[in-house]
């Protein structure tokens, strides 16, 4: 469904509640399938978490995870260890292009039985569950951290735990730390030293049974962008967030200082306030937080600020080739942008074209990252429904703070 966003302004003060992080939720759902005593609070209401939950509950043999990358990767590891169960794990046409070979090879070296049903290296997969007999494996760490998290999540159930040696520059490191921290919270002992990770088997009672998911910082990024593009004094309060987060995208609080947005932490909320204007060029390495690259690029476009973003090599294998998608849509609006395999450069722009239709490429973050531009110009979002992958109530929440949105 196409949506029209008229040029809008937001209320001077507003509040939004965002549900749990989809990354934390999908890890905890997998751990809950392994340790049934675990209770999860503030679970994400995203499609990706719903798909994960259903996949772990169903007894059917063909499981379709649609666009959910974490579900695909985490479930591959999970079903590889379900002795006696045979599953076909598939997804959307884009999922069938997203690489999974690094994970499949690592699991097969540990003793799993996974084969490709269509293209070598990509889903769909045939997974014959069995007992993984080995406990040491070396794998490439520069393609996706999700492969590493997938292995770590099943590790405490393996008889001898797991030892991983990581090759190459490690990408999206905070997501690996998030996995290890959640394991630690339930009582699993881990070591992460340089390029080596060790996870011990959990042979005792769970340390914590009730875990509360912090709200999603990637979803918060769109409000950072909205505040950055608003009048000085504009405030938005979001819940429920913590100052010491497991989510790498909490780097937003620091990053958006450069756009004049201050963050105040109080009673599990964050208040974002536009305090000052900034026109200085932005330079950032986003290797640790790839999911906020689109938000930041579009904030810069809206403010007419030059930016140079690096560490973006994983963007090409996400829901779409996000570098190409950004280039296409930013150029439509009149921006001057260049992209390489792992970077993006945007020139200062002064004028944004009106009424452009932003294509969404089956990517929730394309729709959500361009929406804040309605504070500067009128625009259309080609397929508004894509947001449900991570943030189903996004458009209602935007309306509640003053955005003028119609079908």
Ligand X SMILES: O=C(O)C1=C[C@@H](OP(=O)(O)O)[C@@H](O)[C@H](O)C1
Ligand Y SMILES: C=C(OP(=O)(O)O)C(=O)O
For the record, the structure tokens of 131 come out as 């007992």
Which among ligand X, ligand Y, none contacts residue 145 (Cβ within 5 to 8 A by kind)?
ligand X
Residue 73 annotated as binding? no
Judge contact between 71 and 147, C-beta under 8 A.
no
Residues 244-263 that bind ligand Y (CB under 6 A): none
DSSP at 166: E
- β-strand partners of 86: 128
- Minimum CB separation of residue 356 from ligand Y in Å reads 23
Q: Which stretch binds ligand Y (CB under 6 A): 67-75, 223-231, 334-342, 380-388?
A: 67-75
Which single residue is written with the structure tokens 């735990």?
Answer: 161
Measured from the CB atom, the residue of 291 and 397 that comes closer to ligand Y is: 291
Q: Which pairing describes strands 379-381 and 162-167: parallel, antiparallel, or unpaired?
A: unpaired
The answer to whether 204 is annotated as binding is no
Radius of gyration of the chain (CA): 21
Binding partner of 365, given ligand Y, ligand X, none, CB within 5-8 angstroms per partner class: ligand Y
Report what 390 binds from ligand Y, ligand X, none; CB cut-off 5-8 Å by kind. Answer: ligand Y
Q: Which residue, 157 or 318, has its beta carbon nearer to ligand X?
A: 318
**What DSSP string runs through 291-302?**
GGHHHHHHHHHH
Task: Tell me if 22 is assigned to a ligand binding site.
Answer: yes
- Report how far apart, in Å, the C-alpha atoms of 72 and of each of 3, 36, 200, 322, 397 are: 30, 21, 24, 19, 29
**27, 157, 365, 376: which one contacts ligand Y (CB under 6 A)?**
365
Of 64, 216, 249, 291, the catalytic one is 291
- How many Cα atoms within 13 Å fall on the side-chain side of residue 278? 20
Q: Does the annotation flag 23 for ligand binding?
A: yes
Interface with ligand X (CB under 6 A)? 23, 70, 144-146, 149, 171-172, 175, 290-291, 314
> Which residues, listed in sequence order, are joined to residue 339 by a DSSP beta bridge?
344
Nearer to ligand Y, 68 or 107 (CB): 68
Minimum distance, C-beta of residue 69 to ligand X, in the bound complex (Å): 6
Q: What is the distance between the terminal CA atoms of the chain, rounded to a whole angstrom?
A: 8
Q: Which residue has the tokens 């890890």?
A: 27
Size of the site for ligand Y (CB under 6 A): 9
Q: Give DSSP secondary structure letters for 35-57.
A: STT-EEES---SHHHHHHHHHHH
Q: Point out the residue whose Cβ comes nearest to ligand Y.
A: 69
Residue closer to ligand X, measured from CB, 171 or 230: 171
Closest to ligand X by CB, 135 vs 145, is: 145
Beta bridge partners of 64: 90
In the annotation, is 291 catalytic?
Answer: yes
The one of ligand Y, ligand X, none whose footprint includes residue 190, by CB under 5 to 8 A per kind, is none
Strand partners, 169: none
Question: What is the 3-state secondary structure of 347-360?
Answer: CCCCCCCCCEEECC
Task: Please report, as residue ranges, which positions from 310 to 329 form the binding site for ligand Y (by CB under 6 A).
Answer: 318-319
State yes or no: residue 69 binds ligand Y (CB under 6 A).
Answer: yes
Q: Would you say 122 or 352 has its CB closer to ligand Y?
A: 122
Report what 314 binds from ligand Y, ligand X, none; CB cut-off 5-8 Å by kind: ligand X
Q: What letters, b where the CB count within 10 A reaches 16 and e where it falls short, cover 164-183? A: bebeeebbbbbbbbbbbebb
**What residue numbers does the annotated binding site for phosphoenolpyruvate cover?**
22, 69, 98, 146, 322, 365, 389
Q: Which residues would be at the binding site for ligand Y (CB under 6 A)? A: 67-70, 291, 318-319, 365, 390
Report, as residue numbers or ranges, the catalytic residues: 291
């Amino acid at each position: 469904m196409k949506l029209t966003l008229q040029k809008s302004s937001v209320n001077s003060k507003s509040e939004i509640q965002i549900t749990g992080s989809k990354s934390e939720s999908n890890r905890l759902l997998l751990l809950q399938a392994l340790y049934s005593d675990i209770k999860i609070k503030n679970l994400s209401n995203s499609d990706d978490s719903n798909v994960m939950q259903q996949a772990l509950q169903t007894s059917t043999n063909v499981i379709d995870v649609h666009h959910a990358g974490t579900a695909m990767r985490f479930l591959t590891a999970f079903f590889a260890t379900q002795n006696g169960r045979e599953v076909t794990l598939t997804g959307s046409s884009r999922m069938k292009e997203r690489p999974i070979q690094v994970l499949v090879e690592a699991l097969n070296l540990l003793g799993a039985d996974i084969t490709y049903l269509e293209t070598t290296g990509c889903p769909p997969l045939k997974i014959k569950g069995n007992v993984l007999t080995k406990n040491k494996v070396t794998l490439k760490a520069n393609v996706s951290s999700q492969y590493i998290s997938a292995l770590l999540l099943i590790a405490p159930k393996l008889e001898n735990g797991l030892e991983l040696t990581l090759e190459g520059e490690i990408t999206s490191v905070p997501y690996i730390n998030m996995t290890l921290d959640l394991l630690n919270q339930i009582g699993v002992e881990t070591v992460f030293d340089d390029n080596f990770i060790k996870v011990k088997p959990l042979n005792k009672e769970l340390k914590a049974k009730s875990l509360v998911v912090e709200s999603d910082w990637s979803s918060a990024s769109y409000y950072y962008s909205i505040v950055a593009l608003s009048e000085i004094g504009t405030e938005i309060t979001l819940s429920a967030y913590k100052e010491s987060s497991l989510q790498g995208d909490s780097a937003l609080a620091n990053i958006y200082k450069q756009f004049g947005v201050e963050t105040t932490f109080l009673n599990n909320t964050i208040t974002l306030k536009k305090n000052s204007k900034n026109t200085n060029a932005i330079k950032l390495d986003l290797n640790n937080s790839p999911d906020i690259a689109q938000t930041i690029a579009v904030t810069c476009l809206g403010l007419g600020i030059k930016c140079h973003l690096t560490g973006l090599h994983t963007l090409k294998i996400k829901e779409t080739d996000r570098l190409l998608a950004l280039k296409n849509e930013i150029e439509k609006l009149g921006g001057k942008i260049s992209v390489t395999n792992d970077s993006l450069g945007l020139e200062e722009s002064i004028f944004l074209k009106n009424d452009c239709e932003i294509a969404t490429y089956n990517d929730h973050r394309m729709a959500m990252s361009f929406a804040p531009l309605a504070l500067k110009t009128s625009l259309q979002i080609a397929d508004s429904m894509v947001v449900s992958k991570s943030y189903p109530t996004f458009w209602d929440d935007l309306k509640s703070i003053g955005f003028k949105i119609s079908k």
